[in-house]
Amino acid sequence: MFIGSQDGAQRFCMRFFEIHPGGHTPRHSHDWEHEIFIHEGHGSAYKEGRWVPITQGDALFIPPNEEHQIKNTSDKPLRFVCLIPAGPAEL
Amino acid sequence: MFIGSQDGAQRFCMRFFEIHPGGHTPRHSHDWEHEIFIHEGHGSAYKEGRWVPITQGDALFIPPNEEHQIKNTSDKPLRFVCLIPAGPAEL
């Protein structure tokens, strides 16, 4: 957790993730949204039923309940921040 | 606006800023919080009454009503994302 309730953030939280080359997040969905900013590297994001390329400087909005996944298709780390609403999702 | 209500973001919004070398934001405060992620470059942030160095990969939380300012003290662009709650602050 980069910024969360322990910092006084009452409404939304910032997390930081690094995916190693060849790695990926689980494909899943949940009832809260994501706002993602790609800090470094590139790869692919699954959203709206298809894979789209992502690269550093890109922003992605994942609406609630939308199935999504992120994978690193490169040979360098993929680093991104992912914002979520505060509350149960922060746990 | 990177991600806002036009994208379906109901609760918080992502903006992107670039400050040129020598530039700075106004020093101000408001009743909503900021969550800031430094994407590229470095500079200084005024928060809690003092200047602190900021560099790419850093995250900053600015609580509501705290006076703050960001300046680029380098000779390259300073680029960051700044998250705010949705609502009047998005205007």
* Residues of chain B positioned with their CB less than 8 A from the CB of A84: none
Chain A interface disruption, residue of B1, B61, B65, most A CBs within 10 A: B61
Query: By the 8 A CB rule, do B3 and A61 touch?
Result: yes
The percent helix, strand, coil of chain B (3-state, each to 5) is 5, 50, 45
Under-50 pLDDT residues of chain B: 91
* Residues of chain B positioned with their CB less than 8 A from the CB of A35: 3, 9, 12, 14, 83
Residues A81 and B8: their CA atoms lie apart, in Å, by 19
Enter the pTM of the model: 0.93
| pLDDT tens per residue, range B57-83 | 999 999 999 999 999 999 999 999 999
Indicate if ipTM > 0.85. yes
What's the pLDDT at B1? 79
Under-70 pLDDT residues of chain A: 88-91
